[in-house]
Amino acid sequence: MRAAFTLTKMGDNKRARDLYHSWEIHPLFVLLVTKYCSWKAPEVGKILLNNDESFTAYREGYGGMARFYNWEISFCYSGRTQPRSMAHSEMIAIERGLQLCLVKGHNSLSIAIDFMQMVAYIKEKKAPPWDCMLLQQSIFSLTEKMQSFEIYHVLREANRCPDFLGSFCTSIGELDMPNDSLPP
Give the whole-angstrom CA distance, residue 14 versus residue 97. Answer: 41
Angle (CA) 52-75-39 rounded to 5° is 60
Residues (pLDDT < 70) of the chain are 1-12, 28-39, 56-57, 156-184
Instruction: Determine the pLDDT at residue 2.
Output: 55
Contact 37, 55 (CB under 8 A): no
- Residue pair 21/32 in contact by the 8 Å Cβ criterion: no
pTM for the model stands at 0.72
DSSP labels, 151-176: EEE--GGGGHHHHHHHHH--TTS-EE
* Tally of helices (H runs) and strands (E runs) in the chain: 5, 8
Domains and CATH numbers, the chain: 1-33 (no CATH), 47-181 (3.30.420.10)
pLDDT tens digit sequence for 50-79? 887 777 667 777 888 888 888 888 888 888
What is the predicted pLDDT for the residue at 163?
60
At 167 the pLDDT is 64
pLDDT of 94: 94
DSSP state of 158: G
Res 122: pLDDT:
95
Q: What is the pLDDT of residue 132?
A: 93
| CA nearest to 79, candidates 88, 68, 70, 71 | 88
Chain-wide mean pLDDT for the chain? 79
The C-alpha atoms of residue 38 and residue 183 are separated, in whole angstroms, by 23
